[in-house]
């Protein structure tokens, strides 16, 4: 099942983003700590 995001009451399918290196995943994760883990 593909992931979806709720934008103004309408669901939008989230597209995949490929990472060449683990460092790319780490940067995205650190930039979105609150959204992913609820941390500030």
Per-residue pLDDT of the chain (40 residues), as tens digits, is 788 888 888 999 988 878 789 988 899 889 998 888 887 7
Taking CA atoms, 29 is separated from 8, 10, 17, 18, 19, in Å, by 24, 25, 13, 14, 12
Helix (H) or strand (E) holding 11: strand 10-13
Range of the domain at 16: 4-37
Instruction: Tally the domains of the chain.
Output: 1
- Predicted pLDDT at 35: 86
> Model-level pTM?
0.50
Instruction: Identify any residues that bridge with 6 across adjacent strands, giving them in sequence order.
Output: 11
Instruction: Identify any residues that bridge with 15 across adjacent strands, giving them in sequence order.
Output: none
Q: Which tens digit of pLDDT belongs to each residue from 11-20?
A: 999 888 787 8
Here the tokens at position 11 are 């669901």
């Amino acid at each position: 099942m593909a992931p979806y995001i709720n934008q103004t009451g309408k669901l939008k399918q989230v597209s995949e983003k490929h990472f060449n290196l683990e460092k790319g995943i780490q940067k995205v994760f650190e930039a979105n700590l609150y959204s992913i883990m609820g941390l500030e």
